[in-house]
Structure 1
């Protein structure tokens, strides 16, 4: 078992120039996230750890604004590859759920009945279309793609250099790249037929990973805000001594606690495949995205104008919160799924069931 270190001592690093190749040198490595502004180091759990352990590590990555795709690799890409029996590449990974790709067989069967490419001699595919806003695509060793092929749901992998990449980013300047595929041939060895449940699991994993990152960034907002209001004085006393400031700080801590609790509650159902999994994940992402607005509002209000500048570390958390709120489904999207996941007669049992 090897160990590698990601140094986040200089957090304002352009994401496209950050060396993510050391993030995971091989699929069995344990990474250590360090921050030179604090003497502590956090050992990330092994890749086959429980979802609860991985979520805790993702939350810490969100708190430290780690410029690397830990959550995408550990919570989405790797579990899905293991689920379908594909080898897990070393290095950082990303994912894309792309139902709109045009997929046909690269070696059509001569005896097939129907349109050309609807059946093949093997599972080698020709893929055309666009993978939009793929997280960390330019730094990923491979991208795990979930789509629908002529024979049904399919999972396959590709490398970014196989596509035409257009660089993009979110508000926090994290890579969100478009990958354009033009009749790209995917070898059968990189393709796995799968079930619709795997596509659903991919969506749930992505949403829960993003929720954990939001929880971590929220914790950073709390830490920075509490420190600021304790140190800043007005009318001869710290800001934290004013009742209005205390009330807003309490509300900030409450919002972050709600997100953290919702994320933790969804971990076990995702591992066990419990019937309430979709309900739990939908609740977590709905709460996380909704709370992101309040967390950033309160944090910036209590910091005053200084919190929005690039010279202040608060912007590392809040710009991520604003970005992650919408990614992998915003609160409106997941609130609808939350409502559809239970009938009125089953709502109480869903709320009170053991995870």
Structure 2
């Protein structure tokens, strides 16, 4: 394993033994409770979330509190461990609010730096899996700057129409950035309406959130709120790359398996040179995506000054690889890949939806260009 220097210049891209143990536990749970038929059935029913799956993942394994320090009731782990959980969730496209709640919302609250008070109390509840919180910002937002509408905080409460908000249907608490600060708003409070939207990705539902005089608990002032939410979105974009990596790995593995078993002209179709070349190219892309995703997770974990660059590179590359892997999976499965019964369509939809989450690949390439002072074409 690469030794880290005192200046943190050598990122560790390998998986530790503890991370592999965590992977095995999460994969076993998802194989039992979120296999392909189960996920397809739940998306068809219109209720994709499985409360028992979330309880087992968040509380049984303790994944919800990985980023929360032990003194606040969490596991005291790092973004590297959270990235492993997201890789496995990407492999199964399991409908679970892990990215939005256990990463983005949790990182936002941690960035406030509160050791007591409402923010610390909410963090403890998230770490223990007793509540789910999601940021009430569009799923496509990469930062608060540029958002067209800010919630207004008045004497009667908060007023706004926000969306599309990912996983709002599964949330107990919304983190609402307003003009004068950050508010925690319970989804069952008066004046709060969560209206489901028709989303491409049925495994990560979107919703419009309407606040009409909704009561909220103020967690921070405007300046601290903006910095905290932007930090949460940065962590979300960085670890989303790990979800995209897991998705791409499943698509490649499943495609190789299918082309070995599927025969034409008395030969496995995977032995045809044209298909071998396509799968070899995809393998190279997945290997590179793993390096980019691990670098982003390691940078977030170590607080590297190059974190914004590492995240931008990971998102600019991994979103493209995930979409390509899912497209190849559908096409190389032939007719069965086009059916609703086969899970390939879930992976393609998740990959397409993830490609616009927390900033598009184009937006992240612009970030890379700005950070590296490269002139735009």
Please report the TM-score for the alignment, with normalisation by the length of structure 1. 0.78
Match of 1:241 in 2: 271
Match of 1:332 in 2: 362
Alignment partner of 1:139 is 2:166:
no
Of structures 1 and 2, the larger Rg is shown by 1
The equivalent position to 1:103 in structure 2, one of 141, 152, 172, is 152
In structure 2, relative to structure 1, the CA distance for the partners of 1:26 and 1:144 (3 Å cut) is farther
Q: Which runs of 5+ in 2 are unaligned?
A: 1-24, 68-73, 138-143
Conservation of the 8 A alpha-carbon contact between 1:160 and 1:179: no
Conservation of the 8 A alpha-carbon contact between 1:30 and 1:47: no
More strand by share: 1
Within-5 A mapping of 1:69-218: 69-84=97-112, 85=114, 86=119, 87-88=122-123, 89=125, 90-97=130-137, 99=147, 100-104=149-153, 106=155, 126-145=157-176, 147-150=177-180, 154-162=181-189, 163-173=192-202, 174-188=204-218, 191-193=219-221, 194=224, 196-218=226-248
Paired with 2:105 and 2:57, the residues of 1 have a C-alpha distance of 11
In structure 2, relative to structure 1, the CA distance for the partners of 1:229 and 1:27 (3 Å cut) is closer
Paired with 1:233 and 1:28, the residues of 2 have a C-alpha distance of 43
Q: How far did 1:56 drift?
A: 1.0
Q: How far did 1:263 drift?
A: 1.0
Paired with 1:331 and 1:27, the residues of 2 have a C-alpha distance of 30
Conservation of the 8 A alpha-carbon contact between 1:221 and 1:318: no
In structure 2, relative to structure 1, the CA distance for the partners of 1:104 and 1:313 (3 Å cut) is closer
Q: CA RMSD in A?
A: 2.8
Paired with 2:255 and 2:220, the residues of 1 have a C-alpha distance of 48
In structure 2, relative to structure 1, the CA distance for the partners of 1:318 and 1:291 (3 Å cut) is same
Q: Which runs of 5+ in 1 are unaligned?
A: 34-43, 107-124, 346-355
More helix by share: 2
- Secondary structure, in 3 states, of the residue corresponding to 1:131? strand
Please report the TM-score for the alignment, with normalisation by the length of structure 2. 0.74
Q: How far did 1:344 drift?
A: 4.8
Alignment partner of 1:55 is 2:86:
no
Paired with 1:21 and 1:277, the residues of 2 have a C-alpha distance of 34
In structure 2, relative to structure 1, the CA distance for the partners of 1:28 and 1:214 (3 Å cut) is closer
The equivalent position to 1:68 in structure 2, one of 85, 91, 96, is 96
